[in-house]
Chains A and B, each alone.
Chain A
Amino acid sequence: MKELTELKLKVLDLLNEDARRSPTLLSTLLGVDVEEVKEAIAELEADHVIVKYAAVVNWSKIEDETVTALIEVQITPERGRGFEGIAERIYLYPQVKSVYLMSGAYDLLVEVEGRNLREVANFVSEKLSTIDSVLSTKTNFILKKYKQDGIIFEDREEDNRLIVSP
């Protein structure tokens, strides 16, 4: 793994909290030159440490139709390529949001999103299960998201301190 400078780590922390923070704000918060911050960000982007600036959206607030499933997949690894080829075949589908190679009772954990149950079910039966080296699938539907990427989705009271205190 790549060793990052302390500055880069702090920049990552602050952007992870809020990706909209400008280099000027970051330079003030960290007490370093704005050029240094810009350079650090440029390098982090070039090295694909920062992959994308995205909003964390609580979709359930605006549409309750989407369905997410976590699918446990058992596969036979391919000679020479192990799990890589099959993982790629799976993650290239746009419905697939994430793919993880797992230790334990199954090999891949695949997160699939669809507009409804039927769409996800069709994907599993028609696309996923039919891949040659897939031995079995077990589909788990997500019923409710409480926390994602470290962010708690519940509406929580922000600040209940007194307006003025010692």
Chain B
Amino acid sequence: MIVNEDTKQQQVKSMSSYLAPSVRDIPPSGIRKFFDLASGSKDIITLGVGEPDFTTPWHVREACVYSLERGMTAYTSNAGMTELREAISQYLLDSFKVAYDPKDQIIVTIGGSEAIDLALRALIVPGDEVLIPEPSYVPYSPITSIGGGVPVGIETFAKDNFKLTAESLEAKITPKSKVLILCYPSNPTGATMSYEDWLPIAKVVEKHDLIVISDEIYAELTYNQKHVSFSSIPGMMDRTIMVSGFSKAFAMTGWRMGYVCAHPELIAAMLKIHQYTVMCAPVMGQVAALEALRNGMEEKDRMVESYNQRRRLIVQGFHDIGLECHEPQGAFYAFPSIGSTGLSSEEFAQRLLLEARVAAVPGTAFGSGGEGFLRCSYATSVAQLTEALDRMGNFLHKLKTES
């Protein structure tokens, strides 16, 4: 067969014209870009990973294996196994004093990721503005755009420990504002919010009739203080869609287990999307998640203690090598300022990778307010952290003598 080169070319060229503009126009993720640069290099110490360095506790893995031996391989109900939803409900009540009815207020999802997607898809019509405190977890803005919404960044600052303030929130509100996405403890800054911090935010939310997606996936990873769920703030329960999951607290990233909790009417809407797109979360993951909630608290506490130790190590380490860093109070990220070096985040991260073989993510990958900062995950061994800090210290010294 003779293939006409011209038409072949033409076909390939026009492929992107088939794509939905909302998808085509999304720029590549800054994290992804950096990953491509880092992969293939050897002997790299990575502070770039946003996942626990622990393997899922054995009893959780074992429970899953045993369930497979017994042949638990079928679909579960759309919203997830009843026992699991009951366990999640009980856990949220015990830990954060928020009451969600397992019957019609909880859906078990494929990671917190699906939960965020469900919430945004259920809420947004084209043109709606979605407020996102930045630096922020990368997917919020692109998922908003895919749904036709307009992401509106709210810059937060190191001087406020990257907390959202009522003034800066209020300043970005327009008649089109509909959703506010909260993520505390924060990826990438490690910022947390206290009850007192929440009260003025709740007032603005109420005044402007916003609906809140509260991503609380790092709720278990707080140091020095207990996590305060946004739904537990008076008047906020019905306005809040709480997103969480098992990835971080129980070291279960690969299992893809999360959940979303909200007012029954919102849950019913999200359940429509969930049942028509994925049917239900995988049963193996649900069995494992149930075991984690029932018997995993001790292991979880042990892991949190270990993150806390390494948090102290990295903050002290940055201090010792002369990098300013606010004290992160949650998650497992430190967000030091590299402003004093005069390099942009991207340049700094790139040279740090190539010259010192330490991978960390430039702050600009997380939106406005990220310039001049670097996201460093401390979910890695004490030995690796010590070595990374050594290398960074030498690198900074070299930068100084250069100029």
Contact = CB atoms under 8 A, between A and B. Distances in A.
A163 B48 contact: yes
A42 interface: no
A164 B38 contact: yes
A164 B361 contact: yes
B181 to A, nearest CB: 15
B359 interface: yes
Contacts of B138: 166
Given A161-B51, A164-B31, A164-B359, A29 B46 contact: no
A162 interface: yes
Contact of B35 (A14, A18, A28, A164): A164
Interface stretch (B200-208, B237-245, B275-283, B308-316): B308-316
A102 interface: no
A144 to B, nearest CB: 22
B27 to A, nearest CB: 16
Nearest to A161: B49
Interface string A2-37: 000000000000100010010001001111000000
Interface residues of A, number: 15
Contacts of A103: none
B361 A18 contact: no
B312 A28 contact: yes
Nearest to A166: B50
Given A28-B316, A30-B309, A163 B44 contact: yes
A116 to B, nearest CB: 37
Contact of A163 (B46, B139, B310, B386): B46
A166 B31 contact: yes
A164 B49 contact: yes
Contact of A164 (B48, B139, B309, B383): B48
Contacts of A163: 35, 38-39, 44, 46, 48-49, 359
A122 B26 CA distance: 77
Interface in A138-166: 159, 161-166
Contact of A166 (B139, B310, B316, B383): B139
Interface string B135-149: 001110000000000
B316 A164 contact: no
Given A18-B382, A29-B382, A162 B49 contact: yes
A28 B39 CA distance: 32
Contacts of A165: 31, 35, 48-51
Given A18-B382, A25-B386, A29-B382, A162 B312 contact: no
A166 B187 CA distance: 9
Nearest to A17: B382
Contacts of B46: 161, 163-164
B387 interface: no
Contacts of A21: 382
A29 B313 CA distance: 5
B197 interface: no
A166 B142 CA distance: 14
B34 interface: yes
Interface string A70-110: 00000000000000000000000000000000000000000
Contacts of B137: 166
B51 A164 contact: no
B284 to A, nearest CB: 20
B53 interface: yes
Interface in B42-83: 44, 46, 48-51, 53
Contacts of B187: 166
A14 B312 CA distance: 14
Given A164-B361, A165-B31, A166-B137, A30 B50 contact: no
A17 to B, nearest CB: 8
Contacts of B312: 28-31
A119 to B, nearest CB: 38
A129 B312 CA distance: 56
Contacts of A25: 313, 382, 386
Nearest to A24: B316
Given A18-B383, A164-B31, A164-B35, 11 more contacts: A30-B309, A161-B46, A161-B49, A162-B35, A162-B39, A163-B39, A163-B44, A163-B359, A164-B359, A166-B50, A166-B139
24 contacts: A18-B383, A25-B313, A25-B382, A29-B312, A30-B309, A30-B312, A159-B53, A159-B380, A162-B35, A162-B49, A163-B35, A163-B44, A163-B48, A163-B49, A163-B359, A164-B31, A164-B46, A164-B48, A164-B359, A165-B48, A165-B49, A166-B50, A166-B137, A166-B138
Interface of A: 14, 18, 21, 25, 28-31, 159, 161-166
